[in-house]
Structure 1
């Protein structure tokens, strides 16, 4: 079977852990050359990038996506190294959950600077290269929080609603120039962050079972399951899908809870 991203170059932000790492690994498996973005170089990130491939296949680049100048420098280096850029996966993000009236101005700004502005910084940096090629796919990692609201999770859902809006606006704006912009909205996915939340509870196993029971399928999602959807959207198989968001939450957002 022909690799689904053969001859394509992809940038995955927040690409050394969780959904980003699963996506980067799957992209390499399917023939892409990959830029793994991290906020800062660490031995763990460097080891992960080396595990995926040699520097002519996988390039580890540090940039804080909330800083436009750093993003522009990263994209310029990526294009200089690989000669082109076909796919952007905006995965970098942070969780900021609070009661609205307890939220500080600093935390509000921090949430939006990464979860929404960071995605825009990256899209704005890659779009000129994609437009010159008249081809490109951007996949934003949104959230089920962009569809349903949980109390005391503010302002994260506001940023994710905005990210889905950004997806639709850019997808429509550049459709005629061969650019597709889509998003995926994961629900509860078993990442290191999710595991840390379980471990912080008085009874981690009980908390995990409680979360599983909230899902119609009675299990928590896996990062690879999100990555396969991102792979599809990034590939030419999805060439008629644009300005669309796909929920990946095991059906939970459609379940009525009394």
Structure 2
């Protein structure tokens, strides 16, 4: 453990599984105190207790619906009461919504936009006052390659992720002179529980996994830890001159022309 986040406090949304859980584990190994936010606290409470016992860092679990400002504010107040301040915010909570544009229901549109775009904004609005008062804060939004390239059949998810990258750039510039950095990372296909479930739903899961891996220049699918290490770098002072930027983590796939 190199303790790159020693004496730092981080709040992570969507921390119950997948990329959010990988970020949480890495951050606590690197010395951070953590607030783990998720809709359901069973998994996050177990993870917080495990990490606190293993690494001796303070870890708490908070139930929060990122689409609801009051729920977010309660979680922020709970975090401040337990941990004192928030240095780092990782917006990882998200939901996949892929529909035909003409068949898309209003509820599905709202669910996609409120979770993937409004949710991060709700968290940022809640932590910014404290960060501005201390003139220090690192915010990392988990966007997607869908925020850069359009994949047919994925609407309206790319709309929200394009918006999240725009939010990142806009707020990064807005608060740069006040000690706040806002960046995003854009994972491609990462072997999360959601990706595993999607592959399992395919007629031939093994063949589809092999097909997806073959699309990548490195010929393998990414792992949550590989996204977590990029989030770690952006959250540290090592990246202090990186702001309003997005880093694509897709094994080079988006740079290759596909027929």
* Structure 1 equivalent of residue 21 of structure 2: 21
Q: Deviation at 1:41?
A: 2.1
Correspondence list, 1:51-200, <5 A: 51-54=50-53, 57-200=58-201
* 1:114-158 Cα shifts (integer Å, max 9, x gaps): 000000000000000100110010000000000000111111000
Q: Secondary structure at 1:154's aligned position in 2?
A: coil
Deviations 1:211-233 (A, max 9, x none): 00111110000000000000000
Q: Distance in 1 between matches of 2:85 and 2:204?
A: 49
- Distance (Å, rounded) in 2 between the aligned partners of 1:56 and 1:171: 29
Structure 2: gaps spanning 5 or more residues: none
Shift of 1:56: 6.2
Match of 2:5 in 1: 5
CA contact (8 A) 1:9 1:86 kept: yes
Partner SS, residue 84 of structure 1: coil
Structure 1 counterpart SS, 2:139: strand
Whether 2:258 is the aligned partner of 1:222: answer no
* Over 6 Å off, 4+ runs: none
Question: For the residues of structure 2 that align with 1:159 and 1:208, how far apart are their CA atoms?
Answer: 26
The separation in 1 between residues aligned to 2:10 and 2:187, in whole angstroms, is 21
The aligned residue for residue 44 of structure 2 is 45
The separation in 2 between residues aligned to 1:145 and 1:100, in whole angstroms, is: 16
Equivalent residues of 2:51, 2:57 under 8 A apart: no
- Asked if structure 2 preserves the Cα contact closer than 8 Å seen for 1:170 and 1:243, the reply is yes
Contact 1:99/1:151 (<8 A) preserved: no
Contact 1:87 1:138 in 2 (8 A): yes
Separation in 1, partners of 2:128, 2:200? 41
Gaps of 5+ in 1: none
After TM superposition, the score normalised by the length of structure 1 is: 0.97
2:238 corresponds in structure 1 to 237
What TM-score, normalized to structure 2?
A: 0.97
How many aligned positions are there?
Answer: 257
Partner of 1:247, secondary structure, is strand
Determine the C-alpha separation between the residues in 1 that align with 2:214 and 2:16: 30
Note closer, same or farther for the CA distance 1:212–1:2 as it changes in structure 2 (3 Å cut): closer
- Compute the displacement of 1:16 (Å): 1.5
CA distance in 2, matches of 1:2, 1:150: 39
